Amino acid sequence: MTAHDALNTPLVGMLGCRYPIVQTAMGWVARPELVAASCNAGAFGFLAAASLSADEVGPSIDRVRELTDRPFGVNFHMFQPGAARIVDTIIAAKVRAVSFGRGPDKNIIRRFRDAGIVCMPTVGALRHAQKMVEIGVDAITIQGGEGGGHTGSVPTTLLLPQVLDAVKVPVIAAGGFFDGRGLAAALAYGAAGVAMGTRFLMTRDCPVPEVTKSRYVGAGLDDIVLTTRLDGLQHRLLRNEVLSEVENAGSLSLLVSALKNAWLLKQRTGASVAELVAAARGMQRESGLSFGQALMAANSPVLIERSMIQGRPAEGVMSTGMVAGILGDLPSCDELIARMVDDAQQRLHRLAGG
Ligand SMILES: Cc1cc2nc3c(=O)[nH]c(=O)nc-3n(C[C@H](O)[C@H](O)[C@H](O)COP(=O)(O)O)c2cc1C
């Protein structure tokens, strides 16, 4: 097998992209501009719909299609207000793939698959991968603990072989990937490709305001924190003014700010109080949180939007993978993919004795 063939994994055929590299969904970040730039560069992009209202999903899918003729995917979660309508919209739009956490059940997976849509959830633990395979998904993205946003505790180097040994569907490696070395290593483990969030956020094509991206460029490894204080779940974030406040705040003041943020979220998404309570209850059931902790989930969307859309990084929060601590540039998606592919091919060629 040549180094070129090694990159032609089952994932490439399944998703219709040129290279086995996925741009993952990131709320308020993976907007149509980034998805289209990733796909045009040869990767496979996921539009982040978990941060959109049900009315915004269809127009955002249309916008990606104006910017690229390449296939792409949509990410959502079943606890968001309007989830059932979002599922209908995705099926009607016949996008190539969906990604999600643990939300959808067997019936929803069957509806996606009947529509020819590839189902590839992201998991942070072996048992979740097994559960997802049981309900019929096509592929699994594992996210190791060093990954961005909500994240588990098992490092990529352990979770990847553990899941590869346990399931028969293609496995995509996420959490800490950023270059051709990582891609070659993931393929050597037996993965069908890599998926990256933070590296795509840190590109020129990413529509996040420059003032916020410069916080990522300037960060070192010590500036990256894993906390449950913001929204009750393990969340990896860049250290900033708001995070320091959150870490020092008492439980009551966190709950008060969660209520304020839930109210802002209600206005932003048009969700009813009943829908927000149902969303919190759904999270509570899935994650074993108290209702108060699940309510804190409202903190994240409001504060992330402030950094990623409004360009006020000192007043919001910034989800990040650990990899931001060692990256210091903002290439275009074209440059990023070209150098990753070139480097991976050369390394694989050398390892094969070429
Ligand atoms: C800013 C940011 C926002 C994210 N938002 C989401 C999201 O809305 N849904 C989701 O499933 N994962 C989300 N993630 C996780 C990523 O999709 C991805 O799995 C993770 O970033 C991979 O790790 P890496 O950053 O080391 O590449 C987010 C990550 C970041 C950095």
- What's the 281 CA to ligand 1 centre distance in angstroms? 23
pLDDT at 261: 64
Quick check: is 164 in a domain? Answer: yes
**Which atom number of ligand 1 is nearest to the Cα of residue 322?**
26
Q: What is the pTM of this model?
A: 0.92
Q: What is the largest CA-CA distance in the chain?
A: 63
Mean pLDDT to the nearest integer, 265-288: 64
Quick check: is 312 in a domain? Answer: yes
Burial 73-105 (b: 16+ CB within 10 A, else e): bbbbbbbbbbbeebbebbbebebbbbbbbbbbe
Beta bridge partners of 66: none
Quick check: is 22 in a domain? Answer: yes
Rg (CA), the chain: 19
Mean pLDDT to the nearest integer, 210-232: 94
Cβ atoms of 89 and 57 within 8 Å: the answer is yes
Q: Is the same domain home to 297 and 334?
A: no
Cβ atoms of 34 and 40 within 8 Å: the answer is no
| CA 261/CA 38 separation, integer angstroms | 32
Kindly state if the Cβ of 54 falls inside 6 Å of ligand 1: no
CATH code (residue 8)? 3.20.20.70
pLDDT at 326: 98
Q: Is the same domain home to 279 and 205?
A: no
pLDDT band, very low/low/confident/very high, at 297 (cuts 50, 70, 90): low
291 pLDDT higher than 80 = no
Q: Is the same domain home to 41 and 142?
A: yes
Mutate-to-test residue for ligand 1 from 51, 198, 303, highest number of ligand atoms within 8 A of CB? 198
- Residue 287: which of 84, 101, 99, 87 has the closest Cα? 101
| DSSP code for 326 | T
As a whole number, the mean pLDDT across the chain is: 91
- What's the 308 CA to ligand 1 centre distance in angstroms? 13
272 pLDDT higher than 80 = no
Q: Is the same domain home to 64 and 157?
A: yes
Burial 34-51 (b: 16+ CB within 10 A, else e): bbbbbbbbbbbbbbbbbb
Q: Is the same domain home to 229 and 201?
A: no
Q: Is the same domain home to 140 and 45?
A: yes
Kindly state if the Cβ of 80 falls inside 6 Å of ligand 1: no
Concatenate the DSSP letters of all residues of 113-147 into one string. HHTT-EE--EESSHHHHHHHHHTT-S-EEEE-TTS
Angle between helices 273-287 and 251-269 (to 10 degrees): 130
Q: Is the same domain home to 146 and 247?
A: no
pLDDT at 83: 92
Quick check: is 284 in a domain? Answer: yes
Kindly state if the Cβ of 300 falls inside 6 Å of ligand 1: no
pLDDT at 243: 87
Cβ atoms of 9 and 44 within 8 Å: the answer is no
Q: Is the same domain home to 278 and 345?
A: no
Task: Provide the number of structural domains found in the chain.
Answer: 2
pLDDT band, very low/low/confident/very high, at 302 (cuts 50, 70, 90): confident
Kindly state if the Cβ of 20 falls inside 6 Å of ligand 1: no
Which amino acid is located at 342 in the chain?
D
Q: Is the same domain home to 132 and 263?
A: no
Q: Is the same domain home to 29 and 149?
A: yes
Quick check: is 215 in a domain? Answer: no
Region of 203 (left: φ > 0; alpha: ψ -120 to 50; beta: rest) is beta
Q: In Å, what is the CA distance from 139 to each residue of 12, 70, 190, 198, 294?
A: 12, 20, 13, 21, 29
Span 150-170, pLDDT tens digits: 999 999 999 999 999 999 999
Residue ranges of alpha helices (H) inside 226-332 are 241-248, 251-269, 273-287, 291-295, 299-308
How far separated are the first and last CA of the chain, in Å rounded? 11
pLDDT at 244: 87
70 pLDDT higher than 90 = yes
Q: Is the same domain home to 228 and 175?
A: no
Closest C-alpha residue for ligand 1 atom 8: 27
Kindly state if the Cβ of 48 falls inside 6 Å of ligand 1: yes
| DSSP code for 223 | G
Domain around 24: 3-209+327-351
pLDDT at 276: 63
Q: Is the same domain home to 28 and 167?
A: yes
122 pLDDT higher than 90 = yes
Quick check: is 214 in a domain? Answer: no
